Structure 1
Amino acid sequence: MLNRKVERELEAWHAAPQRTALLVTGVRQIGKTYIIRHFAASHYDHVAELNFIENPRLVSLFSTPRDAKNLLMRLELAVNTPLVPGKTLIFFDEVQECKELVTAIKFLVDDGRFDYALSGSLLGVELEDVRSVPVGYVTEVDMYPLDFEEFCWSRGVGADVFAMLHDHFVRREPVDSFIHDRLMDLYANYLVIGGMPAAVASFAANGSVSDVRTIQENIKREYRRDISKYARKEDRLHIRSIYDLVPSELNNANKRFTFSKIDKGLRFKAVAADFDWLVAAGVTIAAYNVNEPCVPLEMSKERNLFKLFYNDVGLLTSSFLKKTSLDVLDGNPDVNYGAIYENAMAQELSAHGFGLYYFNSKKWGELDFLVQDRNDVVVPIEVKSGKSYKRHRAMDNVLAQVDYHLDGGYVFGPCNVSVEDKVTYLPIYMAGLLSNE
């Protein structure tokens, strides 16, 4: 059993005085079905599960508008579980195959006799054209790959260690060298294994990187099959090409996505919707360039200039040669980990509530990331993978511009905690301590 932070959100939903339907979203193989089943087993006497892929005939239950009485009568006939008021969770899985359910759930919630949970993949794409999403009737919970802290839990590291790290982060004090070295070793593991539950569970069980790579390749094949199934026919080839190009594009010097790699002479306008599809589906993460590092970042973003990352760093690392994985695990200093480190940072920041941006100026240089926190403060972030982590021309230049009103910035790398002027240096494993939730 992998411990997941999302369980806290499920507990909050269950304890809320005004009950809504629970909608758990996320990409395939993220653990949505497992976490709902596990939660239901400890909170309900009865669980009725309906899967719209395994049993496509169930879609007809919601094909036309019906009232709650009619729907529940049909549900009773469709399941083999007693529907006991107040003690039953009805769980609809793979709801992307039955979009009308999201509309119909309003009537079931209003009826009030049972609790409802829904889960599905690609909902950012597939629910765009739903007739009427019932505002106030659905509590949506997003699931992501395991972050580094959750990965450490799977390796036997207790929550007290991260409480200690948070204390050091707040006080800007170095971490004990033994603990620091151990966490850097674990982080190297994380860069290879990533946060997909099946990969993490497999590694915890037998320690085989080869088995993990097989799992990761299978997950990417599933993503490609989803593109073929759910994307518009005329867009599928470009979307698959974009997804497959992410590793090589991140290995470029500026990491910015080049449209001509998809098709020679291609303009962004022709493929803008294809990039949007991958981001909305949750299989990639986008960081957009901004004209200046000032609030609000969204207002100055350049739609056609962006970096694209995989949703899981392990899926990225598995795209490279096996030797790369071994070099990462061994900490080979001759390997350029820049793309891998940046993907891991994008993954952590996105999972912790931040929209991602970056700043690239011929005059000042390039900042790897910019985020805007809940207090509308812009925070510049650099990610360094080598010993020269204190060389950051762009950070120095931007922080020196009084018109940008930046209080300071973070540099994450293979270092311990320290502060010099307006720059705070943090070990890369502390990335998850930045949160905008």
Structure 2
Amino acid sequence: MLQRKALKQFQAWHDAPSHTALLVTGARQVGKTYLIREFADQHYESFAEFNFIQNPDAARIFNPPSDAATMLMRMELASGQRFIPGKTLIFLDEIQACKEAATAVKFLVDDGRYDFAMSGSLLGVELEDVRSVPVGYQSEVVMFPLDFEEFCWSQNVDGKIFDMLKECYEKKQSVDDFIHEHLMSLFRKYLIIGGMPAAVASFAQNNSLIDVRQAQEDIKQGYRRDISQYARKEDRLHIRSIYDLVPSELNNPNKRFTFAKIEKNTRFQAVANDFDWLSAANVAIPAYNVDEPRKPLEMSKERNLFKLFYSDVGLLTGAYLNSTALDILAGDDEVNYGAIYENVVAQELTAHGFSHLYYYNSKRLGELDFLVQDRNDNIIPIEVKSGKNYKVHRALNNVLAEESYHLRQGLVFGPGNIETDHNITYYPIYLLSQFCNN
């Protein structure tokens, strides 16, 4: 079983004094259904699952709609098992395929006898109103691909290592060289395997990158099928083109998405909703350019200037040549893997609660890879470096020297160990989660 941080959120929901339904959202294949089943096995005597895609007839439980008692009798009959008050979890999976079930949750929660969990993919584009259930009836947990720490757990890295890394991060003291080299080796594997559970489990089981690549391609094919099934007919070709263009666009020098690549003479206004679809489906992550590195960043973002990343770095590297994966595994620092490093940073920031990502590009000062606004409302510029020249960062120096921006520190995440130089701190790329948690 893969250890997932979302289990703690499930536990908090279960132990909370208020009675709500658990809504688990996220992209397809990030492990939602599997984790709910595991949680049910650990915490409930009785478990009933209704999948509205695999079993479309299950929708008849809610159609025609009725009172909670009647719907619960229908569910018990359809499941073929006895529901035990206070000890049963009823799981409504692929809820985007049964809108009536989503709207019935309020009444089922009010009944109070059983616990309810819901899950589905594409809720952001297909059933957004499921999130509009009144406060007090629903608790949402968003799941993502495994982050690097979860990946390390799958590789049997002891939790004491992360306690030590937390201390190193906070004190800005170097990580032990042996541990640093081992974690960088694991991180390079993570760049190739990514965090999709099927790929991680495949690698943990048989150590085969060929099987990993097959799992990743199956996932991407599933995303393409979702586009064909759920996107508006007139938008499908553009959305599919955008998704497939992400690897090549990130390989461009400035990594910014070029609309003309979708279709000649295409303007942003014509395809804006297509980008939003991919973001709402949780399969792509946009990072928007801002006019100035000042708070609030959202106020100065330029809607039509952005980079687009995959939600999982393994899906990105899987789109490149196998020689790229071999170079990464070998730790070849002569090769620039900037796009891959930036993708994993976008993925990690998103998984740790930075729901809006930004970067800064100025002809005069240069380009900063990311800007984040921390919990104290401070703007922190972040540079992401993959090669041996990770201490070369003209744009970061220029922006920090601009007195009108009042930026106190800059961070560089790259292959080197922890080091401080005036107002710039260098961290190993694998310590990004520590930054997110602080």
TM-score normalised by L of structure 1 = 0.98
* 8 A contact 2:19–2:136 mirrored in 1: no
Cross-structure match for 1:370:
371
Q: Is this contact kept in 2: 1:100–1:130, CA < 8 A?
A: no
Counterparts of residues 152-301 of structure 1 (less than 5 Å): 152-301=152-301
Aligned to 1:416: 417
1:114-153 matches, cutoff 5 A: 114-129=114-129, 133-153=133-153
**CA distance in structure 1 between the partners assigned to 2:114 and 2:97 by the alignment:** 22
How is 1:96-107 mapped onto 2 (pairs within 5 angstroms)?
Answer: 96-107=96-107
Query: 1:365-413: per-residue Cα shift (whole Å, max 9, x none)?
Result: 0000011112111111000011111111111111111221211011011
Unpaired stretches in structure 2, ≥5 consecutive residues: none
Counterpart-to-counterpart distance in 2, 1:131 and 1:156? 37
Structure 1 pair 436/238, CA: closer, same or farther in 2 (3 Å)? farther
Asked whether the equivalents of residues 333 and 386 of structure 2 are also in contact (C-alpha less than 8 Å), the reply is no
| Matching residue of 2:359 | 358
1:65: Cα distance to partner?
Answer: 3.7
Partner-residue secondary structure (3-state), 1:302: strand
CA distance in 1, matches of 2:312, 2:5: 17
Cα offset, 1:293, TM superposition: 0.6
Tell me how far apart the structure 2 counterparts of residues 305 and 131 of structure 1 sit (CA, whole Å): 29
Q: What is the CA–CA distance in structure 2 between the aligned matches of 1:239 and 1:345, rounded to whole Å?
A: 24
CA distance in 1, matches of 2:19, 2:288: 37
- Contact kept? 1:359, 1:366, Cα under 8 Å: yes
- Residue 132 of structure 1 and its aligned partner are, at CA, apart by 5.1
Residue type of the alignment partner of 1:203: F
Give the Å deviation of 1:193.
0.4
Q: Which amino acid aligns with 1:356?
A: L
TM-align CA RMSD: 1.2
* SS of equivalent residue, structure 1 residue 345: helix
SS of match in other structure, 1:353: coil
Residue 77 of structure 2: aligned partner: 77
Q: Identity percentage over the alignment?
A: 66
SS at match of 1:60: helix
Matching residue of 2:319: 319
Cα distance in structure 1, aligned partners of 2:222 and 2:126: 17
1:100 is displaced (CA, Å) by 2.4
Q: CA deviation at 1:148?
A: 0.5
Question: Partners in 2 of 1:14 and 1:214 — Cα distance?
Answer: 36
Residue 13 (structure 1) shift: 0.3
Does residue 428 in structure 1 map to residue 425 in structure 2?
Answer: no
Q: Normalization by structure 2: what TM-score?
A: 0.98
Give the 5 Å matches for 1:27-38: 27-38=27-38
Flag the 1:417–1:131 CA change in 2: closer, same or farther, 3 A.
closer
For residues 286-327 of structure 1, the C-alpha deviation after alignment (integer angstroms, 9 at most, x for no partner) is: 100001111100000000000000000000000001111111
Q: Distance in 2 between matches of 1:378 and 1:81?
A: 55
3-state SS in 2 of match to 1:234? helix
**Of 123-132 and 225-234, the range deviating more from structure 2:** 123-132
* Partner residue in 2 for 1:342: 342
Report the alpha carbon displacement of residue 66 of structure 1 after superposing the two structures with TM.
2.3
Letter in 1 for 2:400: L
SS in structure 2 opposite 1:332? coil
Q: Distance in 2 between matches of 1:130 and 1:432?
A: 30
Q: For residues 134 and 102 of structure 1, do their structure 2 counterparts lie closer, same or farther at Cα, with a shift above 3 Å needed?
A: farther
User: Contact (CA 8 Å) 1:310, 1:316: kept in 2 or not?
Assistant: yes
1:312-364 deviation digits (Å, cap 9, x = unpaired): 00000000011111111111233221111000110001100112100000011
Cα separation, 2, equivalents of 1:398 and 1:67: 61
How many residues get paired? 437
Deviation of 1:64 (Å): 4.3
Q: Which string of whole-angstrom CA distances, capped at 9 and with x for unpartnered residues, describes residues 14-50 of structure 1?
A: 0000010001111111111110000000100000110
